[in-house]
Amino acid sequence: MTHVIVDTCIRDGACVEVCPVECIVAGKPEDQWPWFYIDPDTCIDCGACVPECPVEAIFPEEDVAEEFNAAIAINKAFFAEGPGYKANET
């Protein structure tokens, strides 16, 4: 189980501060990865990030609305194929 950030994310960053396993990463380069992303292999599903999000853009995977379904694969892809944690270093 994991949480997922959807495309209404405004890159506020409050979620990063509270994540106890530091698995939320700001997408870079921004034009290619415009949101923040959650690593599904590391997320412990604690939900700490949910109340922090000012625009309610974080959901448990099973509660993601159909219109945002693509976000599940995009969060995964950011870590599997995209820069993943390396984005923190740039």
Which residues of the shown chain bind another protein in the complex (CB under 8 A)? 1, 17-21, 44-48
Residue 77 — left, alpha, or beta (φ > 0 → left; ψ -120 to 50 → alpha)? alpha
Q: Which residues neighbour 44 within 8 Å (Cβ) at sequence distance 6 or greater?
A: 20, 21
Provide, rounded to whole angstroms, the least separation between the CB of residue 39 and another protein: 13
Q: Which is nearer to another protein, 12 or 45 (CB)?
A: 45
Q: Which is nearer to another protein, 29 or 51 (CB)?
A: 51
Q: Which is nearer to another protein, 10 or 46 (CB)?
A: 46
> Is residue 2 within 8 Å of residue 63, measured between CB atoms?
no
Provide, rounded to whole angstroms, the least separation between the CB of residue 51 and another protein: 9
Provide, rounded to whole angstroms, the least separation between the CB of residue 66 and another protein: 22
> Is residue 86 within 8 Å of residue 30, measured between CB atoms?
no
